[in-house]
C-alpha cells in the first residue's frame, strides 16, 4: 500500500499543475491501510473539505487505474485533540485522544502573529497577561479594533500560551453570543446555578466581541456578577470588541466601568510593511513562493484587514487549483481587482506622483511644482500633471493648485502635450507607461 500511494501521488503530480500538487497533495501522509483501504492524514478541516470537494473523484479514479480495484480512501485530521473526519477501523486501529480542553484554535499563537506598528502595544499587553495571568493591573485586558485585524488571534494566542505553560489551567473561551445563548438555555432548563459554576470556575476567561452584550440587560447582569466573582478571586479576564467601551450604547454604567477598569488597547489597520509581512507569511504557510512584485501589488491595494490579506492568498490558491494554471502577475491582478470590486480606488496622492517622477527624471521635486521653464523640468512637470489626471482623475483646477497655482488651460495643455508625445516619442511613451505601471500596478 505504501507503494500504491506513492504511485497515486506520482500520477496526480504528472496531471496537475505543480503548484496545485504541492499545495494540496504534498502535505498528505499515509498513516494506515488494509487490503482495500487507505487512511490519509491531512493538516486541517479546511484541507479535508477542499480535497473532498475538488479532488475526490480524481483520487478515486487514479487509485482504480493503478490497482484495478475499488480502493476506499478515508481521512483523519492531524490536529491534536480532534476527532477523525470519518470513523475508520484499520489493522492499525487509528485513534485520536480526546481531552477536556477549551475550544482554542491551535493555529493562533504569538509566534505566527505578525507584529507591526499597528498592533505592537496590543501584542505586548497580551503576551504580558499570558506570562502572569491575573497578577498585575492589566486585568481586565480589553483589545478593540475593526473587523479582521487580529483581535481574535490574540485572544486565542493568550489561551494557547497559558495552556502550554500550565496544562491544568482552566481556560474558558467564548463569544458574547455563546455566553448569551448558554445563559438563555440555563433559564429554559432551570440550570442557572450550573451556568454560573461553569463560567466562574475559570482561571482565565476569554470573551470575544463584547459589543454584542449591548441592550441584553439580563445577560449583562449575569456577566457583571461573573466578572466580579472572577476579578475578586484574582482570575484573568480578557475581552475583545470592535470599538471602545465608551462608544457602546446600551451597556449599563457599572458594566461599562468594569470594562474600562483595566488596560484598554487597540489594533489598527496594518501599515504597508506589515501587510507585506502578513502576505509573505501566509504564502509560506501554503507552500507559495511569490515574487516580491506580486506581494507588493497585493499589499498596496488590499488594506482593510488581515483577514482580507489572508483570503486573497486563499483565493489565489483556489483559482490556480480550479483553473489548472500557475500563479502569475496577471492572475494576482485579477484577484486583487475582484477583492476591491469595480472602480477599484487607487490610494495615491499628487505628492506620491511628483516624488516618483522626480526619481525617474532626476529632477528635484520642488522644481517640478515650481516656476522654472527649463526643458527637463518642464517636461517632468507635464508628465506629473498628466499622471495626476490619468491616475487620480483630478480636476484641472485641483491639479493646477497643486502645481504652483497654474490655471486650467495650462494644465490642459500639459496633458495634451504628453498625450501627443506618447504617440510620437518612444522615450516619453516608455517613461510615462513605466511610471503609470509603477504607481498603479496596472490595475486600471
Residue 111 lies in a domain: no
Quick one: average pLDDT of 271-276? 84
Strand stretches in 153-203, DSSP E: 171-175
Residues in Cβ contact with 5 at an 8 Å cutoff, skipping those fewer than 6 apart = 30, 33, 38, 40
Residue that is written with C-alpha cell 466573582 in the block: 229
Is residue 366 located within the same domain as residue 326?
no
Alpha helix (H) residue ranges in 34-150: 45-54, 56-67, 120-131
Give a yes or no: residue 373 inside a domain.
yes
| Region of poorest pLDDT, from 25-34, 153-162, 334-343 | 334-343
Q: Which domain holds residue 59?
A: 2-77
151 in the same domain as 232: yes
Out of 133-137, 207-211, 232-236, 342-346, which region has the weakest mean confidence (pLDDT)?
342-346
Q: What gap in Å lies between CA 130 and CA 153, rounded to an integer?
A: 13
At 80 the pLDDT is 40
What value does the mean pLDDT take over residues 355-361? 90
CB 418 within 8 A of CB 382: yes
Identify the pLDDT of residue 143.
Answer: 94
With respect to residue 298, please indicate whether it lies within any of the assigned structural domains: yes
Say if 90 falls within a structural domain: no
Distances (CA, A) of 439 to 141, 418, 421: 41, 17, 20
Q: How far apart are CA 358 and CA 380, in angstroms?
A: 7
Same domain, 155 and 241: yes
pLDDT at 94 over 50: no
Beta carbons of 1 and 38 less than 8 angstroms apart: yes
Copy the grid coordinates of residue 58.
Answer: 480524481
CB 238 within 8 A of CB 204: yes
pTM for the whole thing? 0.57
pLDDT digits (tens, 9 = 90+) for 139-154: 899 999 888 888 999 9
Residues 314 and 381 in one domain: no
Residue 433: inside a domain: yes
CATH number of 359's domain: 1.10.1750.10
**Helix, strand, coil percent values for the chain (each to nearest 5):** 55, 10, 35
Residue 69 sits in the same domain as residue 125: no
Kindly state whether residues 328 and 411 are assigned to the same domain.
no
CA nearest 75: which of 124, 27, 25, 40?
40
State whether 132 and 248 are in the same domain: yes
pLDDT tops 90 at residue 326: no
- pLDDT, tens digit (0-9, with 9 covering 90-100), for 301-323: 787 788 888 888 888 888 877 77
Residue 275 lies in a domain: no
Same domain, 150 and 251: yes
pLDDT for the residue 287: 77
The pLDDT > 90 percentage for the chain reads 24
CATH number at residue 129: 3.40.50.300
Q: 33 - beta bridge partners?
A: 38
Mean pLDDT, residues 258-282: 87
In sequence order, what are the residues at sequence separation of 6 or more whose Cβ sits closer than 8 angstroms to the Cβ of residue 382?
414, 415, 417, 418
| Number of independent structural domains in the chain | 4
Sheet-wide strand order for 72-77: 29-34, 37-42, 72-77
Rounded to a whole number, what is the distance in angstroms from the first to the last CA of the chain?
Answer: 53
User: Is residue 240 included in any domain, yes or no?
Assistant: yes
Q: Is the pLDDT of residue 69 over 60?
A: yes
Q: How far apart are CA 172 and CA 238, in angstroms?
A: 11
The pLDDT tens digits for 369-381 are: 988 889 999 999 9
Q: Does residue 406 belong to any structural domain of this protein? A: yes
Q: Which phi-psi region, left, alpha or beta, contains residue 329 (left: φ > 0; alpha: ψ -120 to 50)?
A: alpha
Q: What is the mean pLDDT of the chain?
A: 82
Query: What's the CATH code of the domain at 18?
Result: 3.30.300.180
The pLDDT assigned to 85 comes to 43
Domain-terminating residue out of 267, 302, 325: 267
Q: Would the pLDDT of 130 be above 90?
A: yes
pLDDT tens per residue, range 6-40: 888 888 888 887 767 777 788 888 777 666 777 78
- Does residue 149 sit in the same domain as residue 257? yes
Block residue for cell numbers 480532534: 82
Strand positions, DSSP E, 78-219: 141-145, 171-175, 204-208
E strands of 52-187, at which residues?
72-77, 141-145, 171-175
pLDDT in tens, 190-236: 888 888 888 999 999 999 999 888 888 888 888 999 999 999 999 99
Whether residue 248 is found in the same domain as residue 130 = yes
Q: Which helix (H) or strand (E) holds 357?
A: helix 350-361
Rounded to 5 degrees, φ, ψ at 224 are -60, -45
Residue 369: which H helix or E strand, with range? none
* Same domain (yes/no): 250, 149: yes
What number is the average pLDDT over the span 341-358?
Answer: 74
370 and 428 share one domain: yes
With b meaning 16 or more CB within 10 Å and e meaning fewer, what string describes 96-135? eeeeeebebeeebebeebbebebbeebbebbeebbeebbe
Q: Which of 340, 362, 383 is the last residue of a domain?
A: 340
Amino acid at each position: 500500500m505504501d507503494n500504491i500511494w506513492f504511485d497515486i501521488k506520482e500520477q496526480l503530480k504528472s496531471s496537475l499543475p505543480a503548484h496545485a500538487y504541492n499545495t494540496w497533495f504534498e502535505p498528505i501522509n499515509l498513516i494506515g491501510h488494509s487490503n482495500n483501504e487507505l487512511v490519509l492524514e491531512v493538516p486541517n478541516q479546511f484541507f479535508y473539505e477542499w480535497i473532498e470537494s475538488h479532488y475526490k473523484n480524481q483520487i478515486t479514479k487514479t487509485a482504480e487505474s493503478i490497482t484495478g480495484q475499488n480502493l476506499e480512501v478515508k481521512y483523519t485530521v492531524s490536529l491534536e485533540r480532534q476527532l477523525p473526519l470519518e470513523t475508520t477501523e484499520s489493522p492499525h486501529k487509528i485513534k485520536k485522544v480526546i481531552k477536556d480542553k477549551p475550544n482554542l484554535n491551535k493555529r493562533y499563537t504569538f509566534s505566527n502573529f505578525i507584529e507591526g506598528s499597528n498592533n505592537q502595544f496590543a501584542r505586548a499587553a497580551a503576551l504580558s497577561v499570558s506570562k502572569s495571568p491575573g497578577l498585575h493591573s492589566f486585568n481586565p485586558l480589553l483589545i478593540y479594533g475593526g473587523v479582521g485585524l487580529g483581535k481574535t488571534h490574540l485572544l486565542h494566542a493568550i489561551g494557547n500560551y497559558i495552556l502550554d505553560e500550565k496544562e491544568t489551567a482552566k481556560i474558558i473561551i467564548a463569544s458574547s453570543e455563546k455566553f448569551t445563548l448558554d445563559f438563555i438555555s440555563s433559564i429554559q432548563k432551570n440550570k442557572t446555578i450550573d451556568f454560573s459554576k461553569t463560567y466562574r470556575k475559570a482561571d482565565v476567561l476569554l470573551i470575544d466581541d463584547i459589543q454584542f452584550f449591548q441592550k441584553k440587560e439580563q445577560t449583562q447582569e449575569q456577566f457583571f456578577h461573573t466578572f466580579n466573582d472572577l476579578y475578586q478571586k484574582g482570575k484573568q479576564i480578557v475581552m475583545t470588541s470592535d470599538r471602545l467601551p465608551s462608544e457602546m450604547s446600551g451597556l449599563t454604567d457599572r458594566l461599562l466601568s468594569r470594562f474600562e477598569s483595566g488596560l484598554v488597547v487597540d489594533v489598527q489597520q496594518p501599515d504597508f510593511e506589515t501587510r507585506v509581512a502578513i502576505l509573505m507569511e501566509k504564502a509560506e504557510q501554503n507552500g507559495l513562493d511569490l515574487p516580491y512584485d506580486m506581494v507588493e501589488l497585493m499589499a498596496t491595494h488590499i488594506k482593510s484587514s488581515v483577514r482580507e490579506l489572508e483570503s486573497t492568498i486563499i483565493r489565489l490558491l483556489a483559482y490556480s487549483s480550479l483553473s489548472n494554471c500557475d500563479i502569475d502577475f496577471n492572475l494576482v491582478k485579477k484577484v486583487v481587482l475582484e477583492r476591491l470590486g469595480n472602480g477599484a480606488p487607487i490610494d495615491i496622492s499628487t505628492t506620491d506622483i511628483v516624488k516618483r517622477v522626480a526619481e525617474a527624471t532626476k529632477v528635484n521635486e520642488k522644481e517640478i511644482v515650481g516656476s522654472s521653464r527649463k526643458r527637463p523640468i518642464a517636461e517632468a512637470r507635464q508628465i506629473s500633471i498628466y499622471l495626476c489626471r490619468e491616475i487620480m482623475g483630478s480636476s484641472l483646477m485641483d491639479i493646477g493648485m497643486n502645481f504652483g497655482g497654474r490655471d486650467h488651460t495650462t494644465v490642459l495643455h500639459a496633458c495634451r502635450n504628453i498625450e501627443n508625445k506618447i504617440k510620437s516619442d518612444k522615450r516619453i511613451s516608455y517613461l510615462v507607461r513605466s511610471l503609470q505601471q509603477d504607481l498603479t500596478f496596472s490595475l486600471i
